[in-house]
Structure 1
Amino acid sequence: MIKFFRNIRKKLLSEGHTGKYLKYAIGEIVLVVIGILIALQINNWNNNRIEAKEEKHLLINLKSEIIGNHERLQEMMKFHEHINRHMVEFSEYFGPDQQPIEVESFENYISALSWTPYYSPQKGVFNSSLSSGKIGIIKNDNLSFKLSSITSLEKTYGNILDHLKNLLSNHFTAHIIDKYPLINMRTGDLTAAKRSSFPLEQKKVLQSMEFETLVNLKRLNTSDALGHAEELYQVQDEIIDLINSELKRFE
């Protein structure tokens, strides 16, 4: 093709048709430029198509990951509500003259006091897209912002749960070890274990100002954890809605 155009130019020059030669040369340049632009357009179209496919794939995987975390967080919120409700009830039974209460209720309160649920969100898809830079192919700026903000919310929530665990390990055991046989607690594998034959010292617990303070600290921190869990849950909900909206672009 190039040889064909070159032969035409030579013929025009040899015949002295300079004006026609210039017009032809300009026309040839225009055709080359148009060809380049078309090639670039096709290349851009292919790149956009590939990127759109990658974005859709990423959104689907992120949605699946966040839905799983959403469901786990919903269970966490139920646990927090359960613990908080028991701590509110338990706090009403303390005083210098408080008498023992029904054994099953007491043990339920002790078990709730000793229990801190653990939340470990799945982050494989998000972390991988972040480290590879693929997170940048998401077109929706609001979605990108919320995805970036969720990490901070998860960290804050995790810190509160760690504080609750430290409260348990640093204070609970020391206050309960000589007052209540831990083998009687209704949590985990201990539920099925043989009950202790030692007497239950309820009065030592219910008439202890330190233990009353511990229960109220547990209640306040659990309420704080629930509030942050609800905030995180709301953002997860918004992200899922945004992803669903974005996926409609690919239908």
Structure 2
Amino acid sequence: MLKFFRKIRRGLIADKKVGNYMLYAIGEIVLVVIGILIALAIDNANEDSIKHKKQQVYLIGLKKEFETSQNKLKTLISVNKKSYEDSKTIIGFMQDPDRSPNEEELSNLLYNALAFDISYNPNNSLLEEMINSGSLKDLSNPELRVLLTNWISNLDDISKQEAMLDHERDQIINMFRTNENSIKTIYDLTGVSGDLGLPVATEQLSNLALLQSTEFENNLLMFILTSITTETMHYAPLMQSMDEILATIEGEIEE
């Protein structure tokens, strides 16, 4: 096409038809501009297509991560609930002397209440990579970007709360580092000694005296309060946040 215009231009110049030459010169310029615009449009379309595919890969990956993290949180909530519910059962025994447990029952309650660390460890590898590489901006939905950013800050609050809960648990466990109470008795009567390959004692030191201890009761009550607060004020809102994030991600994923 450009060769065609150049031929006409040379002919017009030779014939000294200046007016017609100017018209064809403008036409040639317009043609070049149109070609440039078409090329830019193609480049932009290709770039948009690449960004779109990249976004879909991120969205699918984030969906899998948050589904796994949600299942982890559900399990952790169950463990925490079992922990404070068995602790409440012990408090019930302390308030009703006529309903005293035997040594094995108390050992199982203490083990379930205190043996398991409550620590949330979500799958965040892809999200952290996106944040560190600046790829979070590749997500076109601004609401989703805000939700993901808030999610990270919420995890910092969760860690602080879990540290408080861990402290309250340690306050109780420290009472078993004395001569008055026995962790070995708990291990023996719950089967942990056998799992660890430890010999079972022929006689166990009783922990039933803990039910008469005001210090133990105070520590256990603080532990129960912190456990319930962790669930209601932190884990429950975090679960709601994950529901919202997953719903938004699913709305952006193309079938």
Q: Using structure 2 for the length normalisation, give the TM-score.
A: 0.87
Alignment check: 8 A CA contact 2:84 2:228 kept:
yes
- Structure 2 unaligned spans of 5+: none
Question: RCO (CA 8 Å, sep 6+): is it higher in 1 or 2?
Answer: 1
Alignment check: 8 A CA contact 1:59 1:247 kept:
yes
- Structure 1 unaligned spans of 5+: none
Alignment check: 8 A CA contact 2:87 2:113 kept:
yes
Q: Does 1:218 align with 2:223?
A: yes
The aligned counterpart of 1:207 is: 212
Alignment check: 8 A CA contact 1:9 1:21 kept:
yes
The aligned counterpart of 1:92 is: 92
Alignment check: 8 A CA contact 1:98 1:207 kept:
no
* Percent of aligned pairs with the same amino acid: 27
The aligned counterpart of 2:119 is: 118
Whole-angstrom distance in 2 between the partners of 1:3 and 1:97: 106
Whole-angstrom distance in 1 between the partners of 2:252 and 2:124: 21
Q: Does 1:161 align with 2:162?
A: yes
Aligned residues: 247
Q: Deviations over 1:1-30 (max 9, x none)?
A: 655533432221221211111111111111
Is the deviation greater in 57-66 or in 151-160?
151-160
Q: CA deviation at 1:168?
A: 2.8
Q: CA deviation at 1:124?
A: 1.0
Q: CA RMSD in A?
A: 2.3
Q: Using structure 1 for the length normalisation, give the TM-score.
A: 0.89
Is the deviation greater in 92-101 or in 46-55?
92-101
State the secondary structure of the residue aligned to 2:150.
helix
Is the deviation greater in 180-189 or in 144-153?
180-189
Alignment check: 8 A CA contact 2:86 2:110 kept:
no
Whole-angstrom distance in 1 between the partners of 2:211 and 2:194: 23
Whole-angstrom distance in 2 between the partners of 1:201 and 1:71: 36
Whole-angstrom distance in 2 between the partners of 1:125 and 1:45: 27
Change (3 A) 1:190 1:70: farther
State the secondary structure of the residue aligned to 1:65.
helix
Whole-angstrom distance in 2 between the partners of 1:231 and 1:41: 45
The aligned counterpart of 1:103 is: 103
